[in-house]
Structure 1
Amino acid sequence: MSRHIQDRIGRRLSTVFPCPDAVEDTSRLGQVLLRLAQALAPAPAGNPVPDSFRTDLLAAVPQLRRYALAQCRNAAEADDLVQTTLMRAWENRSRFEPGTRLIAWLFTILRNAFLNQRKRLRREVEDVDGAFAATLSLEPEQERRVELIQLQAALNTLTAEHRETLLLVMVDGLLYEEAARVLGCRTGTVKSRVSRARERLALALGTD
């Protein structure tokens, strides 16, 4: 598949799964972010917080919210999941490996929190059933509108595993190796899932 087609699919996916709006300061997540920002302020010499960790953690919130929303399909639950992720990341900041990308580590924390939550509630994750359709920011051009609808329909036919893997790589920009660590599978598995999902979406967009 050509780079042009891959980029086109990536742009369309970003439209279907946009980063949520800014967090309201008065919301529970907003209050957590305010407290986190204070905690991340320059720390005493005896307990320094690397500048990169401080900056990247707060900058990752929009991506974390998008990923959480794609997992649980509910804005309130997604923000609670992000809140849990940020708190665990802060509590376990000493475990973060310098030189690796923070976003991949955060996605791992978020995904594990979601899976644990699902086990506790003993419920299965429902497949995408068009729930995102109502939130799509459709462009005025009819051609683009039809294309987005076709893409949404194609996403609905993907398995949860293929869809999640595709979004991590093509929307959030994780490397295959990073996505593999998040998902707890082999790098080859990630490559296979992305390839198959991308081919299905390319067909939906009428590309070859």
Structure 2
Amino acid sequence: MNPRKELLEHIPNLRAFALSLTGNADQADDLVQEALMKAWTSLDRFQPGTNMRAWLFTILRNAFYSEFRKKRREVEDADGAMAAKLASHPEQTGHMDFEDFRRVLDQLPSDQREALILIGASGFSYEEAAEICGCAVGTVKSRVNRARARLAQMLSVDTAADYGPDTISQPIITDVTSKGRSVA
């Protein structure tokens, strides 16, 4: 018998087997279609005189378990919540925000700029920054607050989220909206 005709004769048996594996008619039809496509493209490798039914069932079974393993590693994300957590912001916007930030930072008075860079960019504590600047801790806090407020005003920033997500400038621009104060 012609292998192509024999392949078509086994479709009802393949569908019944697929239905027993998946338990869902639509998934079973998809599985049979996938198995038939694989068999059709590999028909030249089928050995005439061997059991085509067994060959087709093996292809179908392997396709089912391959898909099963693949789905086990996947996370269903129907509403897109998981994908939203993985999304990243475009880098060019952050770069442009940072360039604007650098330009405006240079316009700050030197004592405010120094305090802001020590606290926000370099990660020093207020006490360490006060020691470096040779002034009181309160003076450093005041300079940082005034610098942040001035930066926010010059950049037209209302919240930290307005400025951009880049990791370089975010420590410097922080949300201080509590108690009615503007973002700085």
TM-score normalized by structure 1? 0.34
Name the structure, 1 or 2, with higher relative contact order (CA <8 Å, separation 6+): 1
Q: Which has the larger radius of gyration?
A: 2
TM-score normalized by structure 2? 0.39
